[in-house]
Amino acid sequence: MKFVVAVKQVPDTAEVRIDHEKGTLIRDGVPSILNPFDTYALEEALRWRDSLGGTVTVITMGPPQAEAVLTEAISMGADEGILLTDRAFAGSDTRATSQAIAEAVRKVGAVDVVFCGKQAIDGDTAQTGPGVAASLDWPQVTFVGRVREMTEEHVICERYVENGVQVLDTRLPAVLTILKDANTPRVPSLRGKMKARTFKPVLWSAADLGLSPEETGLSGSPTRVVTTATPEARHGGEIHRGTPEELAVIMADLLLGKEARS
Amino acid sequence: MDYMLSDDLKAIRDICGEIAEKHIRPVRAALDEENRFPREIMDILARSDLFSIYIPEAYGGTGMGSLALCVATEELSRACGGVAVSYAANALGAMPILLFGSEDQKSKYLPPLAAGEKLCAFALTEPEAGSDAAGIKTRAVRDGDHYILNGTKQWITNGGEAQIYTVIAMSDPTRGARGASAFIVEEGTPGFSYGKKEDKMGIRASATRELVFEDCRVPAENLIAREGMGFMVAMKTLDNSRPGVAAQAVGIAQGALDEALAYASQRRQFGQRIDSFQGVQFMLADMATSIEAARALTYAVARMMDAGSPRFEKESAMAKVFASDVAMQVTTDAVQILGGYGYMKEYPVEKMMRDAKITQIYEGTNQIQRLVIAAALIRETAAGMR
Amino acid sequence: MTGRLEIIREKCVGCGACLRSCPVDALSIVEKKAVVSDACNLCGMCIKSCPVDAIVLHHVTGGGAGLEGYSGIMVAVELRDGRPDRSTLELLGEARRLSGGARRVTALLICAEPGDIPSELTRYGADRVLAAVHPGLEHYLTEPFTAVLAAAIRADKPEIVLAAATTQGRDLMPRVAKTLETGLTADCTELRIDPDTNQLMQTRPAFGGNIMATIVCDRTRPQMSTVRPGVMKRLEPDDSRRVLVERLPVDDGMVAGRSTLLEFIPSVGNEIDLTESEVIVSGGRGMKGPENYGMLHELAELLGGSVGASRAAVDSGWIPYPRQVGQTGKTVQPRKYIAVGISGAVQHRVGMQSSDEIFAVNRDPDAPVFTFANHGFVGDLFEVIPALINEIKRRRG
Ligand SMILES: Cc1cc2nc3c(=O)[nH]c(=O)nc-3n(C[C@H](O)[C@H](O)[C@H](O)COP(=O)(O)OP(=O)(O)OC[C@H]3O[C@@H](n4cnc5c(N)ncnc54)[C@H](O)[C@@H]3O)c2cc1C
Ligand SMILES: Cc1cc2nc3c(=O)[nH]c(=O)nc-3n(C[C@H](O)[C@H](O)[C@H](O)COP(=O)(O)OP(=O)(O)OC[C@H]3O[C@@H](n4cnc5c(N)ncnc54)[C@H](O)[C@@H]3O)c2cc1C
């Protein structure tokens, strides 16, 4: 079977610091990493390839240096990598991003399943997967906590929702977005790392995907970010110090309020 | 120190480091506490091709050599000496086949080992034969196209977990050391069973078990090399594998230093960080220096072997002795730096100290290693080589 | 190229402030002036970092065609166990607030059997209920719901469409937005209509909660947002409002899809819903281990609340995920939130900062939690919490 995994290069938000005055990111020394959620998508694809046979192709849209996340995916065992890179893609929102990825999936051809991460840790929208599915007019299963079963025709997924688990039987081809509950991503293998060292991605531009300038980047993006700020500061109140017993009395006063004080 | 490792070796180190971080550190205390063999971790190591590195490409390996094995063992040991020896003992077990096996034996047994589908162990020691390996009593008697094995092997690492065993037995007791032979025995061979499981001081994640042979019929084609070559096989095997013990020791010591440094920068006494006290600083400096010296010697010996040196028994013994003594000293000092906390199981250094001890004992005690070194020195002097 | 970041060289002083703000490392200083490389993704993060306003993002303007004829606010109703979810009621409240009485608030009810749901939606703020009813709409399924919501939007032409940022809303809305080729802002925590431009200003956390971004969708309609549950306030129910229900025709073709629901496995009964709790006692890394949660449960019980946790505690396996508060867990707004041994990293804070009153107990006086807690207590939680439990018990006799 033919599997595609959409992966994104993101700044490691755990390392991001912010300039509170200006409401912007301090990027100094923050490493770029493979979106952590995408490692679960990749692992899921690799597992199904290992058990059903076939290939795993990773696709990313980003600047030339996004090649690094494809290389990492190759070292984990992906077969091929495609980098969608073009000035024209700059400024893409999820609509434009989904469209580009969907066109790439069409160009790859005969794909059975597209795996996406649950969300990217920078944009945090979780919108790209459903957008890709809509562009391809394929069914989608989001928030997949476990893929139970797969054949050439269909897939049975557990979709984790707020109050339980939906078990869905879905016809292929389809787009799945994978939660971290689904698996434990493998560590790269030595042979994978050796292969990754000489890996060169396939490069596709907007024109290669048959996308017109109006459909891509800023012009193909209905949303745009107008301002950024840091989360509203909530001011700290009084800070109490003292023995545990003293603190307990103050806390009990505040917590119990009207309740009798003895 | 920058050892100018190749990209492949760096890849091995990174992979082992990642496995250590994600899959070993979180469970090492539990494995130690429960005396539990890390089967899942072996599977992870297998999937990352780590069992391939000491096996030539012709047999499904990646043929990376001794230094690669040292780098991997060191990095794993930094997290857990017990897991690391469970890994490294495979190379020990496979060594007789790698060094002396026939083409048929190699193509039959090495590929599943390279893939990590099967594990391997080496069985020499017996209840009454430790340092004095020539004292082994296990017998191998030829019977048509089979050998019949009888006897008990003791303290065999990976015993009960491995599927392939290389076993040294006496085929002709009248010839003493020249009467031993080496055999490949597969799990499930009639007459081959497992005995007592040991409850150890350290490296408790590793399996150490008795092997029992009762009229065990081993096909004659499983004889390694020729009859009478058993000790030669065993001694060359140990010469080749000892840098692995040295690497294990370096790794354990490094892990202890890592912990000591981290702790010393956090712990405050007398209103200051304890790493601001010169007494502590001197200990840290000595620990780091001796680790680096041990690593340098270990890598140098491994490189010498990879470069095809015909003789390295003395050097390999030196690396093992030096690194294991460093490991014992450094882990003891790490416990000292952590003070009372170091003595408690909440912190990993007491385990590291327990784990370090074995490196001075197995694959030839450090006393025996010194005998080997001295004998070589005397021989070389006599031969006018010095 | 579809847009351009311009550095006004005359203004640029080469200070490098923009370099540090760029998430993709696209800026550098060459001969004392900032230059932008091809890596720029036009995110605009650098603009505010520039002390001399030397950076301008040229958008593609134009468009705007077809914006007319859209009016009102549509709320996509989410049902849970056959009743409108709390998040839907919050959205109705928010829609009313946004409308300022000037825009009609329509609740789109997609279901198999409306029953008295329309009157409940009305009590909480809907001016009108558009009901799409079909036996095939009993459970949420992506494709039928997409078909219905898209049809409703095409028919009704709302200016704004809101849904909760739940697993349902975050599945449905992006698919509908792409189908209609309009924009969607994810997981908003604040909505506002700019009085000058009439655009919906949608504010949302990104970069793991480190940044609040305000987003507009100014060239297409409708403007769509998913809204984080637990952030907006629902209205007091008003029984006097008149119920107005209209039907949206649904044909069998619309409810056809390529997924079928084989079964639904409800979460185990004793699971608490933190978002419903009035008091939450949360433990973090400072709890040291699962065995210490006993005292938090005891305290929560005394206060009639539930126990929550920070991600650190959940990741360590001390307490299960449903109790996680924060960016990747639940957003809560209890009356009282007691953070015990929680440092107060931004990822935790975004999940609880709308609590009415925040208490924090931490040994480290420099813990960030003290910068936003209403009541800070510097002390060892292993002493303070047991003392507090004793004190409460003593007062209650
Ligand atoms: C502060 C900020 C806020 C934003 N808010 C919005 C918004 O509200 N609405 C909107 O439409 N856009 C928004 N964007 C733009 C959005 O981040 C980009 O469109 C981005 O390309 C995809 O969205 P995401 O990062 O949220 O990814 P998600 O949709 O969360 O990603 C889900 C999955 O899609 C796949 N994927 C995502 N991006 C790529 C890629 N480039 N290449 C390959 N696979 C990928 C991965 O599998 C990933 O796990 C915002 C950007 C910023 C900087
Ligand atoms: C955890 C563990 C795992 C092991 N794994 C394996 C394995 O996988 N395969 C295997 O074959 N064996 C294995 N062994 C056995 C190990 O190699 C032996 O324990 C070791 O060779 C020492 O033998 P011994 O314990 O019988 O000590 P002894 O030989 O009885 O030595 C006792 C003491 O006397 C000293 N001594 C002995 N002879 C001399 C001498 N001539 N001069 C000076 N001092 C001397 C020794 O140094 C030591 O201090 C393992 C042992 C342990 C504890």
Q: Are B46 and B86 in contact (CB under 8 A)?
A: no
CA C299 to chain centre: 29
* pLDDT given for residue A237 in this prediction: 84
Question: Quick one: closest CA in A to B47, which residue?
Answer: A189
**Higher-pLDDT residue of C42, A151:** A151
- Point out the residues of B that are catalytic: 363
Per DSSP, what are the bridge partners of residue C74?
Answer: C106, C161
Neighbours of chain C (3+ CB pairs under 8 A): A
Helix (H, G, I), strand (E, B) or coil at A157: strand
Residue among B361, B369, B371 to mutate when testing ligand 2 (max atoms within 8 A of CB)? B361
pLDDT digits (tens, 9 = 90+) for A63-80: 999 999 999 999 999 999
* pLDDT given for residue B35 in this prediction: 95
pLDDT digits (tens, 9 = 90+) for A185-210: 999 999 999 999 999 999 999 999 99
B13's enclosing H/E stretch is helix B7-19
Q: Are A197 and A70 in contact (CB under 8 A)?
A: no
B89's enclosing H/E stretch is helix B81-100
Q: Which class is A2-215 in CATH?
A: alpha beta
Give B133's contacts (C-beta < 8 A, 6+ positions apart): B124, B125, B168, B231, B234
Mean pLDDT of the C249-276 span: 86
Determine which residue's CA is closest to atom 24 belonging to ligand 2.
B130
Q: Are B148 and B140 in contact (CB under 8 A)?
A: yes
Q: What is the DSSP letter of A159?
A: E
Give the Cα separation of B75 and C191 in Å (integer). Answer: 52
Does ligand 1 come within 6 angstroms of the Cβ of A8?
yes
Matching fold, domains C2-60 and C73-255: no
Query: B265 vs chain A: nearest CA distance in angstroms?
Result: 22
* pLDDT given for residue A232 in this prediction: 64
Q: Which ligand is nearest to the CA of A6?
A: 1
At residue C233, does pLDDT exceed 90?
A: no
Task: List the Cα angle A153/A155/A160 in 5-degree steps.
Answer: 165
Calculate the average pLDDT of chain B: 97
Domain boundaries, chain B: 7-114, 120-228, 232-382
Where residue C209 falls among pLDDT bands split at 50, 70, 90? Answer: confident
Distance A120 CA to ligand 1 centre (A): 6
Give the Cα separation of B143 and A173 in Å (integer). Answer: 63
Residue C67 at interface with chain A, using a CB cutoff of 8 Å: no
Give the Cα separation of B116 and C6 in Å (integer). Answer: 57
At residue C63, does pLDDT exceed 50?
A: no
Q: Are A256 and C302 in contact (CB under 8 A)?
A: no
Domain boundaries, chain C: 2-60, 73-255, 274-395
**Higher-pLDDT residue of C355, C377:** C377
Question: Quick one: closest CA in B to A76, which residue?
Answer: B48
Residue among B365, B366, B373 to mutate when testing ligand 2 (max atoms within 8 A of CB)? B365
CATH-assigned architecture of domain C2-60: 2-Layer Sandwich (3.30)
Domain boundaries, chain A: 2-215
Does ligand 1 come within 6 angstroms of the Cβ of C186?
yes
**Dihedral sign for Cα atoms in the order C327, C329, C331, C337:** negative
**Dihedral sign for Cα atoms in the order A125, A126, A131, A132:** positive
Residue A15 at interface with chain C, using a CB cutoff of 8 Å: no
Q: Which ligand is nearest to the CA of B237?
A: 2
**Higher-pLDDT residue of C43, B228:** B228
Mean pLDDT of the C265-271 span: 70
* pLDDT given for residue C210 in this prediction: 77
* pLDDT given for residue A260 in this prediction: 47
**How many residues comprise chain B?**
386
A123: tokens are 């944009």
Q: Do C378 and A241 touch (CB under 8 A)?
A: yes
Distance B70 CA to ligand 2 centre (A): 22
Mean pLDDT of the C9-25 span: 85
Q: Are C357 and C281 in contact (CB under 8 A)?
A: no
- Closest ligand 2 atom number to CA of residue B371: 42
Q: Do A165 and C394 touch (CB under 8 A)?
A: no
Helix (H, G, I), strand (E, B) or coil at C4: strand
Q: Do B15 and A186 touch (CB under 8 A)?
A: no
Q: Residues of A at the B interface (Cβ-Cβ below 8 Å)?
A: 186-194, 197
From the CB of residue C16, how many other CB atoms can be counted at a distance below 10 Å? 13
Where residue C262 falls among pLDDT bands split at 50, 70, 90? Answer: very high
**Dihedral sign for Cα atoms in the order C164, C170, C172, C176:** positive
Pocket residues: Cβ below 6 A from ligand 2: B 89, 121-125, 130-131, 155-157, 200, 208, 358, 361-365, 367-368, 371
Calculate the average pLDDT of chain C: 90
**Higher-pLDDT residue of C275, B104:** B104
C282's enclosing H/E stretch is strand C279-283
* pLDDT given for residue A256 in this prediction: 86
pLDDT digits (tens, 9 = 90+) for C91-123: 999 999 999 888 999 999 999 999 999 999 999
User: Is the domain defined by B7-114 classed in CATH 1.10.540.10?
Assistant: yes
Q: Are A13 and C208 in contact (CB under 8 A)?
A: yes
Question: Quick one: closest CA in A to B16, which residue?
Answer: A187
CATH number of B120-228: 2.40.110.10
C274-395 folds as Rossmann fold (3.40.50)
Distance A61 CA to ligand 1 centre (A): 10
B232-382 folds as Butyryl-CoA Dehydrogenase, subunit A; domain 3 (1.20.140)
- Closest ligand 1 atom number to CA of residue C206: 1
Q: Are A140 and C175 in contact (CB under 8 A)?
A: yes
User: What φ, ψ does residue C297 adopt, rounded to 5°?
Assistant: -60, -40
- Which of B114-128, C306-320, C325-339 has the highest mean predicted lDDT (pLDDT)? B114-128
* pLDDT given for residue A235 in this prediction: 72
Neighbours of chain A (3+ CB pairs under 8 A): B, C
Where residue C272 falls among pLDDT bands split at 50, 70, 90? Answer: low
Give the Cα separation of C174 and B47 in Å (integer). Answer: 37
pLDDT digits (tens, 9 = 90+) for B323-350: 999 999 999 999 999 999 999 998 999 9
C73-255 folds as Rossmann fold (3.40.50)
Q: Do B7 and A197 touch (CB under 8 A)?
A: yes
Q: Which ligand is nearest to the CA of B238?
A: 2
Question: CA nearest B259: which of B246, B275, B279, B239?
Answer: B275
Does ligand 1 come within 6 angstroms of the Cβ of A120?
yes
Give the Cα separation of B210 and A68 in Å (integer). Answer: 49
Q: Are C367 and C389 in contact (CB under 8 A)?
A: no
Out of A24, A90, A233, name the one closest to residue C40 (CB): A90
Helix (H, G, I), strand (E, B) or coil at B348: coil
The residue ranges of chain A whose pLDDT is under 70 are 20, 22-25, 27, 232-234, 258-262
At residue B29, does pLDDT exceed 60?
A: yes
Question: Quick one: closest CA in B to A50, which residue?
Answer: B47
Query: A76 vs chain C: nearest CA distance in angstroms?
Result: 24
Out of B22, B44, B49, name the one closest to residue A190 (CB): B49
Q: Which residues of chain A have a CB within 8 Å of the CB of C187? A: 124-126
Out of C214, C387, C395, name the one closest to residue A262 (CB): C395
pLDDT digits (tens, 9 = 90+) for B54-106: 999 999 999 999 999 999 999 999 999 999 999 999 999 999 999 999 999 99
* pLDDT given for residue C100 in this prediction: 87
At residue C79, does pLDDT exceed 80?
A: yes
Give the Cα separation of C142 and C135 in Å (integer). Answer: 15
At residue C369, does pLDDT exceed 50?
A: yes
At residue C65, does pLDDT exceed 90?
A: no
Residue C337 at interface with chain A, using a CB cutoff of 8 Å: no
Where residue C19 falls among pLDDT bands split at 50, 70, 90? Answer: confident
Q: How many alpha carbons fall within 13 Å on the CB side of residue B238?
A: 22
* pLDDT given for residue C62 in this prediction: 44
Where residue B177 falls among pLDDT bands split at 50, 70, 90? Answer: confident
* Predicted structure pTM score: 0.84
Question: Quick one: closest CA in A to C389, which residue?
Answer: A248
Does ligand 1 come within 6 angstroms of the Cβ of A125?
yes
Task: List the Cα angle C278/C280/C284 in 5-degree steps.
Answer: 165
pLDDT digits (tens, 9 = 90+) for B242-301: 999 999 999 999 999 999 999 999 898 999 999 999 999 999 999 999 999 999 999 999
C313: tokens are 């505690």
Least confident of B145-149, C279-283, C333-337: C333-337
* pLDDT given for residue B176 in this prediction: 87
Residue A202 at interface with chain C, using a CB cutoff of 8 Å: no
